Amino acid sequence: MGRTGHGGENARAGLGISALVLGVLGLVLAVGAVAWLRAAYGVSTLAGDSMRPTYTRGTGIVWERVDGGEVRRGDVVVFTPPASYGIGAPLVKRVIGVGGDRVRCCTAVGSREGVSVNGKPVEEPYVYGGDADGVHRAYDVTVPQGRLFLLGDYRADSPDSRFHLDEQSGTVSESAVLGRVTDDRTVPALGVTAALLGGVLVLVSVGLGIGFLVVRRREAAPVPAMPWPAPPMGG
């Protein structure tokens, strides 16, 4: 029968408890972080150039999942396009007008023509080449409540609200919005770090668990019998 001192028993128990605690903590942290990231954020890769120069083809973007009613003018959103777009994948465009806004193009702004919202010219430093018009397609729409008027930053090469004016004035329902693009990666990076840390803790717990099993097996190993009888001891 194997024998062990109190020190060995305490060490073995410590290994087992540590493995259990770290394993549970790691699983909770990893699973919780991944679930939160999936619920709060999405990632996409741009397949076109309609958002140049802000985002170019092949750029990976991070977007926070928000209700369409939370977005504001100037926000860049990811949305599911209406069937009239003939595109089955989500698109990325900039919000120019929200419910109740009157959006017009084109209004003279200095030596250039630009977009106006509610009678005020919109400063758009983000548009490609400074061309806020792009296709010389005039429009004057009032955005219905609960809908958004969306344009790409590369106005000469962007399928957007301008080309669907006969359908709800070219607007998109707020419910079609999947999320708002964010350039601040701090919060999602913390989530990823938490998930990785949880994975590390799980791996450490596995190592400790293996150590616990090895120690227990060694302590439980039987003492081999002597191959010859021991002579009686003299008194």
- Phi, psi at 126, each rounded to 5°: -85, -10
Contact 200, 208 (CB under 8 A): no
Indicate if 116 and 202 belong to the same structural domain: no
Q: What stretches of 18-171 adopt beta strand conformation (E)?
A: 41-45, 60-64, 76-79, 91-97, 102-109, 112-117, 120-121, 139-142, 147-151
128 within domain boundaries: yes
Indicate if 36 and 78 belong to the same structural domain: no
Per-residue pLDDT tens digits for 120-179: 999 999 999 999 998 888 999 999 999 999 999 999 999 999 999 999 999 999 999 999
pLDDT at 82 exceeding the cut of 90: yes
With the C-alpha atoms ordered 222, 228, 232, 233, is the resulting torsion angle positive or negative? negative
Contact 140, 26 (CB under 8 A): no
- Count up the domains in the chain and report the number: 2
226 within domain boundaries: no
229 within domain boundaries: no
Structure pTM?
0.79
Q: Of 146, 179, 165, which Cα lies nearest the Cα of 80?
A: 179
